[in-house]
Amino acid sequence: MSDFPLDKSEAEWKAQLSEQEYKILRQAGTEYPFTGEYNKHFASGTYHCKGCGSPLYTSEAKFDSGCGWPSYDKSIAGAITYRKDRSLGMMRVEILCAQCGGHQGHVFDDGPTETGQRYCVNSAAIDFRPEEK
């Protein structure tokens, strides 16, 4: 039983996700910097959780941080849950999809916009849906 509205077994997640997606979304892994398909992606639309399809970030919030992962200065209201992460000998804030608990990455207080935040997200944790015209 999970703390999230969408609750699937590990077998269900493994059947749905690729090996890399499972490692990132369900085991808090990360992709190598500068390798994700959305790092330099700036089309208009919305980025959704790869695990459950929930909308998480808009293209208006995306910026090029130079860190090697897709970066956003905010998430869609209510879309993300935050959890302290003390792994790797440091204190960080992990960001998770509020619907399925899928690990997205981490948020840092070093963003260049008025929010001061940088949501550092794994491309394998999201899907892009273009703006409908």
Q: Rounded to an integer, what distance in angstroms lies between the CA atom of residue 33 and that of residue 87? A: 19
Catalytic residue, chosen from 52, 97, 100, 120, is 120
* Residues 44, 26 contacting (CB under 8 angstroms): no
What are the b/e assignments for 35-52, b being 16+ CB within 10 Å? ebebbeeeeebbbbbbbb
Q: What are phi and psi of 28, to 5 degrees?
A: 60, 35
- Residue 120 known to be catalytic: yes
Catalytically active residues are 120
